[in-house]
Amino acid sequence: MSVANQLDCDVLVVGSGVAGMSAAITAASRGLKVVVAEKAAFYGGTTSRSGGWLWIPNTQMAKALGHVERPDQALTYIKDQAGENFDEKRVRAFIKNGPKCIEFFTSKTVLQFDMPLTFPDYHAEAPGAAQGGRSFVTRPMDAREMGPLLKDLGPVLPELTVFGLTIGSGKDIIHFMRASRSLESAWYVTKRLTKHFMEVLRYGRGMTLTNGNALAARLAKSAANLSVPVLLSSPVTQLLRDGERVTGAVLEQQGQKIKVNARMGVVLASGGIPHDEERKKKVYAHVRSGHQHWSPTPESNTGDGARMAEAVGGVFDDTLQQAAAWTPMSLVPRKDGSTGIMPHFIDRAKPGVIAVNQDGKRFTNEANSYHDVVQAIVESSVGKQNSFCWLVADHRAIRRYGLGFVKPFPMPMGEHLSNGYLKKARTVAELAQKIGVSAASLDETINRYNENAQYGRDPEFGRGSKAYNRYQGDALHGPNPCVEPLKTGPFYAIKLVPGDIGSFMGLKTNENGQVIRTDGSPIEGLYAAGNDAASIMGGEYTGAGITLGPGLTFGYIAANHIADQVQVKQSAPAYLA
C-alpha cells in the first residue's frame, strides 16, 4: 500500500455520531490519544438530525422524578420485546452501564438532558414496561457556545423546521400544536419565533440548537474540550491487522491515503446500513420484493463499518425481527427541485386522522409507533406494485394539528396543494378519485369509523387503547385523545411510504462492545457501537431513544474496555495539556 502520510493514536473512532463521539470522549477522558475520522464534510451523522431522545432506565434523573424501577424490570421488558434475539449479556451491560454513562457525561462534559414526567414505552402494556422515567431529551444549547465548531455541525432536516426554526421535541412541540387554541401556547410560540427571527437577522441563522442537533453539538464541544481531533471528509476505507489483532486503519483525505496506527483499538461507529443498497436488497424484505424505501439518514451511512469488519472476520447479524427502525415518510417537493423525506412521528395519532391502504380500507391502529405502522403498511401492500398508504384527515383536524409537512392554522396550505404534496377534495368520493382508491370503499371505511368515533371508540383497531397512543394523541380532546369522526370537509390526504431512521441489523458484538467472530471469540482491537452493532432490542422499537441511548452507552463501554486493557495514567498526558 502506498500511503502519503501516517498518524499515530491510541484509539481510532470511525464516525462522529452519538456512538463514535461517546467512545472518543470517554477514551480521551481516560487519558488516551484519540482520533475521530468522519466521512462527511459535517460532523454529527444521523444523530445531528435526530429528535435527540435517549432511552436509558434507572438514571438519577428518573429517580429524582420518583421513577423507581423493580430490579430487573427493564431486563424483563427488553427480554419480552427482543424475543429470540434477546442477548442477556449485552442487555445487562447496557442496563448496568447506562446510568453510569449518563452520570459521567452530565458531570464531566457539557452534555445535559431533560426528562419529562411521563413518556410511556412504545409497548407500555408489555411485561416490564414503564410509563415514564426511561426516555429523556437533550437540553437545547445556545449555538454561540460552539464558537468555530458551529460551522461544521450537521444540518437539521429542513422538513422538521418552521421558518428554519427546529421545534424542540420537548415542550416546544406541545405549544406549537396548541398555539391556535391556547393563549399561553400562542404567547410561547410568538416569543420563540420572535427570538428566532432576531437571531436570523443578527447571525444569519437561529441560535437555539435543539433535539439531535443539540446532542451532536454538545458532544462535539465536549470532544473539543478534551482536544480530540475530528477529521472531516476523511472516510476510513480499510482495517489494518497485525496477525489477528486490528492495529489501525487506512483513511482517505483529498485523494490521499493516510495510515492510522491505533495502538489500542478501532471503534466502528459509521452509522449502520441505511444507504447500503446491496445489503438492503438482502435484509429489507419489501426492498427485496422490489418495493421502494426512503431514508432521511445521511447518504454517507453506507454500511462501511460492517463491510470492513466482515473483511477481518466480523459477522453481520441478519437474524433480527426487523432490519431497521421503520418510520412512515412523506415525500416533500422542495423549491430547489429536490425531494425532502419527512418522518411522520406523531400526526397519525391525532383525532380526526386515519390511514387507508391502497384499497381504501383502514388496516392498522395508526396511533401505534412508527415502527409498527410501517410493518402494517408493508403487510397491507403485499401483491401491490409498491408499499404505501394514505393518511386522511378532515378540515378540522388538519387545521388543528397539521399533517406531515403541513403546519396547523394559521400557516397557509396553498403551496402544499399546488405542488401535489397534499390532496384536497370537497367530498370523500372526490378525495378517493384523487388518490386512486375506490370511492365506495373509502366512503364505507370513513362511515364505519365515524359510527363509533362519535363515542370515542375504535373497535376495529383500538386507537387510543394504549398508553403510547394516548401520549401522542391530543390530551385536551375527550373522551379518547386519538379519536374523532372525520366529518367536516374539505377532506385531505398525504401519501405515506416506508422509510427508516437508522438500521437495527448490524455487527455481532459482545458485552464489551468487541466485534465477535462466528465462534463468539472477540477480534482483538476491534469494537462497534451505535447502529454499526446489532440493536440490543432485537429489531423491536421499544421506546423513545432506543438507538441514541444504547449508542451513547456502548460507545462509553467500548472506550472503557479499551482503557481498562492498559495501564493509563489518570492525569492527562502531555499531548492533551
- Interaxial angle between packed helices 18-29 and 211-225, expressed in degrees from 0 to 180 and rounded to the nearest 10: 30
Least gap, CB of 395 to ligand FAD (angstroms): 28
Figure out which of the listed residues 199, 304, 317, 366 binds ligand FAD, where binding follows CB under 6 A. 304
Which helix H or strand E contains 444, and what residues bound it?
A: helix 439-453
DSSP state of 509: B
By CB under 6 A, is residue 531 in contact with ligand FAD? yes
Assess 528 for contact with ligand FAD (CB under 6 A).
no
Angle between helices 183-203 and 171-178 (to 10 degrees): 110
Contacts of ligand FAD in 424-443 (CB under 6 A): none
Looking at residues 137 to 166 of the shown chain, list those that interact with ligand FAD (rule: CB under 6 A): 157
DSSP summary character for residue 187: H
d(CA 413, CA 409): 9
The correct pick among 23, 45, 283, 465 for binding ligand FAD (CB under 6 A) is: 45
Residue 259 CB, nearest distance to ligand FAD (Å)?
15
Q: Restricting to residues 533-552, which ones interact with ligand FAD according to CB under 6 A? A: 545-548, 551
Total residues at the site for ligand FAD (CB under 6 A)? 42
Quote the CA–CA distance of 364 and 372 in Å, as a whole number.
Answer: 9
C-alpha triplet 405, 406, 412: angle, nearest 5°:
140
Determine which residue in the list 10, 11, 51, 207 makes contact with ligand FAD, applying CB under 6 A. 51
11 in Cβ contact with 27 (< 8 Å): yes
- In the complex with ligand FAD, which residue's Cβ is closer, 437 or 529? 529
Measured between alpha carbons, how far is 228 from 208 in angstroms, rounded to an integer? 25
Q: Which three cell numbers mark 119?
A: 413518556
Least Cβ distance, residue 275 to ligand FAD (angstroms): 9
Restricting to residues 324-363, which ones interact with ligand FAD according to CB under 6 A?
Answer: 343
Query: How many contiguous H segments (helices) and E segments (strands) does the chain have?
Result: 17, 23
Interaction pattern, residues 365-384, with ligand FAD; x per rule: CB under 6 A: --------------------
Judged by CB under 6 A, does residue 248 bind ligand FAD? no
The residue range among 23-31, 48-56, 80-88, 255-263 that interacts with ligand FAD, by the rule CB under 6 A, is: 48-56
Binding test (CB under 6 A) with ligand FAD, winner from 30, 49, 139, 293: 49
Q: Which residue is closest to ligand FAD by CB?
A: 17
Contact 116, 169 (CB under 8 A): no
User: Which residues in the 274-303 window bind ligand FAD by CB under 6 A?
Assistant: 296-298, 300-301
20 lines the binding site for ligand FAD (CB under 6 A): yes
Question: Using CB under 6 A, which of 15, 98, 120, 206 touches ligand FAD?
Answer: 15
Q: Which is nearer to ligand FAD, 302 or 358 (CB)?
A: 302
Q: Between 106 and 125, how does the x/- string for binding to ligand FAD read (CB under 6 A)? A: --------------------
Q: Is 53 in the site for ligand FAD (CB under 6 A)?
A: yes
270 interacts with ligand FAD by CB under 6 A: yes
Q: Does 482 bind ligand FAD (CB under 6 A)?
A: no
Is residue 494 helix, strand or coil?
strand
Stretch that binds ligand FAD, among 33-41, 67-75, 404-412, 471-479 (CB under 6 A): 33-41
Alpha carbon of residue 449 to chain centroid? 32
Instruction: Specify the residue, 298 or 402, whose C-beta has the smaller distance to ligand FAD.
Output: 298
Q: Which is nearer to ligand FAD, 35 or 486 (CB)?
A: 35
Residue 383: how many other CB atoms lie within 10 Å: 7
C-alpha neighbours within 13 Å on the C-beta side of residue 323: 21
Of the pair 98, 212, the CB lying nearest ligand FAD is at 212
Question: Of 38 and 347, which CB lies nearer to ligand FAD in the complex structure?
Answer: 38
Minimum CB separation of residue 191 from ligand FAD in Å reads 25
- Smallest separation (angstroms) from ligand FAD to the CB of 489: 32
Q: Which three cell numbers stand for residue 321?
A: 425481527
Among 501, 505, 526, 558, binds ligand FAD (CB under 6 A): 501
Using alpha carbons, select from 300, 317, 366 the residue that is nearest to residue 533: 317
| 553 is an interface residue for ligand FAD by CB under 6 A | no
Sequence-separated (6 or more) residues with CB below 8 Å from residue 9: 33, 34, 35, 260, 261, 262, 263
Which residues share a beta bridge with 141? 209
CB 338 within 8 A of CB 345: no
Mapping DSSP to helix (H, G, I), strand (E, B) and coil, where does residue 353 land? Answer: strand
Name the minimum Å distance from CB 535 to ligand FAD. 9
Among 35, 61, 93, 269, binds ligand FAD (CB under 6 A): 269
Q: Which of residues 183-212 bind ligand FAD (CB under 6 A)?
A: 212
Interatomic CA distance for residues 455 and 474, integer angstroms: 16
Which helix (H) or strand (E) is 342 found in, with range? strand 339-343
Task: Name the nearest CA neighbour of 27 among 432, 572, 574.
Answer: 572
CA distance 326 to 132: 23
CB 340 within 8 Å of CB 405: yes
By CB under 6 A, tell whether 235 contacts ligand FAD: yes
Q: In the bound complex, what is the minimum distance in angstroms from residue 511's beta carbon to ligand FAD?
A: 18
Stretch touching ligand FAD by CB under 6 A, among 44-52, 87-95, 200-208, 515-523: 44-52
Measured CA to CA, the distance from residue 353 to residue 330 in angstroms comes to 15
Which of these, 543, 403, 409, lies nearest to 471 by C-alpha position? 543
Q: Which residues bind ligand FAD (CB under 6 A)?
A: 14-20, 37-40, 45-47, 49-53, 157, 212, 235-236, 269-271, 296-298, 300-301, 304, 343, 501-502, 530-531, 545-548, 551
